[in-house]
Structure 1
């Protein structure tokens, strides 16, 4: 499934929204943002590490445009190389990071095991168009901090009722993926490791005085 979330300056998903996205898409998480010093990216196949980074820097990230992605692996191993967002370059004028939600059916075979990486490679070299929605949804942030969706997103309320854009809202439903499905897809050791990482991220957030519902640091 995966999920992409984008937020312009002054808006941000709540901590609860981020953890729900992560729970339903546990195979890697990344964030790209643009501040006064330029464009940056943090990504890790361990969602807990990315969540910890976001919660610790929530206020700083809220002041910047952000592109966030949580992965549910369909093609390619669970590792950093397959964790979104990916670097892209368009000619000599534009570069940045791009994320994908869905399955790029036309690109399941190619240089990479990841259909997302194959589709992005074909797109940036002018071999395919990703704007018709048939290969999933794509969003990017460029070197100037401009966020652009190649396919239309959904707009929902984030922290402080400010708008954010998401590729889907399936993560909002607790029953979207049942525990039985988790057990069939992942072994007990993986789930134990994920739960430990999730708990650590929440504990770090609470220790830093951040409200889990609003994402605002308590004074």
Structure 2
């Protein structure tokens, strides 16, 4: 399932929380940060070793950054499937959740296919659409309540969080969920894991992303996982 952490520039991330998340999500980590005008720096590894993760975070801690920690559900454990994914020359994306989409390349994750097969054709043609509230709402509606996506746009130096309200704020940082780290230790309550009705509702609503915002793309069929 994974965990995404968004740390604003002036916030500080509790390293104990980061350590806990690294233990729950052993299948790779990635950090992306605004480190200069029209610049995003990315650090990734296909395995989550806390000391390496800590050093990477400390290196980028003075900047606004997004951290993704992976717990594999689909796709191999390798660099190719390690978040964040480059969608355009300026836009990167991290995903938390499971999308039951057409995965045309064996071993590539659903997140990889979402970034490369669905989002890339749209955002390369019109990168500014990611900042449109209507497009953000459309993505949120169609990926369902069990998914989160975070985009960083180097050109506009802005971060976009899909389904942000379904995450949790903690000491000035945003967490995509409270399930994939020891949330009780930090005074946070893990959610009820019985998401059957949410998944059913999401499955019934899922449509083709390109119907409204682009040309014909593969149909998404979301189910929880």
TM-score band by shorter chain is 0.5 to 0.7
- Once residues 30 and 6 of structure 1 are traced to their aligned partners in structure 2, the CA distance between those partners, rounded to angstroms, is 12
Cα pair 1:45 1:78 within 8 Å, conserved: yes
Identify the match of residue 152 of structure 2 among 124, 131, 141: 141
Deviation at 1:108, TM superposition (A): 4.7
Q: Structure 1 residue 40 and structure 2 residue 36: aligned?
A: no
- Once residues 16 and 92 of structure 2 are traced to their aligned partners in structure 1, the CA distance between those partners, rounded to angstroms, is 25
Cα pair 1:28 1:78 within 8 Å, conserved: yes
Residue 22 of structure 1 aligns to a residue whose secondary structure is helix
Residue 31 of structure 1 aligns to a residue whose secondary structure is strand
The residue aligned with 2:103 is: 109
- Once residues 114 and 20 of structure 2 are traced to their aligned partners in structure 1, the CA distance between those partners, rounded to angstroms, is 27
Distance 1:76 1:14, change over 3 A: same
Please report the RMSD computed on the Cα atoms of aligned residues, expressed in angstroms: 2.7
List aligned pairs for 1:80-91, cutoff 5 A: 80-89=79-88
Residue 63 of structure 1 aligns to a residue whose secondary structure is coil
- Once residues 40 and 61 of structure 2 are traced to their aligned partners in structure 1, the CA distance between those partners, rounded to angstroms, is 15
Deviation at 1:54, TM superposition (A): 4.5
Cα pair 1:100 1:137 within 8 Å, conserved: yes
The residue aligned with 1:165 is: 174
Deviation at 1:61, TM superposition (A): 2.3
4+ long deviations beyond 4 Å: 57-60
**What are the ranges of 5 or more consecutive residues in structure 1 without an aligned counterpart?**
177-219
The residue aligned with 1:126 is: 122
Normalising by the residue count of structure 1, what TM-score does the alignment of the two structures yield?
0.66
Deviations, residues 89-141 of structure 1 (Å, cap 9, x unaligned): 2xxxx722110101012x15224621001112212323995322427210011
- Once residues 113 and 19 of structure 2 are traced to their aligned partners in structure 1, the CA distance between those partners, rounded to angstroms, is 28
**What are the ranges of 5 or more consecutive residues in structure 2 without an aligned counterpart?**
124-134, 191-225
How many residues are paired up? Answer: 165
Normalising by the residue count of structure 2, what TM-score does the alignment of the two structures yield?
0.65
Deviation at 1:65, TM superposition (A): 0.8
- Once residues 43 and 92 of structure 2 are traced to their aligned partners in structure 1, the CA distance between those partners, rounded to angstroms, is 11
Cα pair 2:87 2:119 within 8 Å, conserved: no
- Once residues 60 and 147 of structure 1 are traced to their aligned partners in structure 2, the CA distance between those partners, rounded to angstroms, is 20
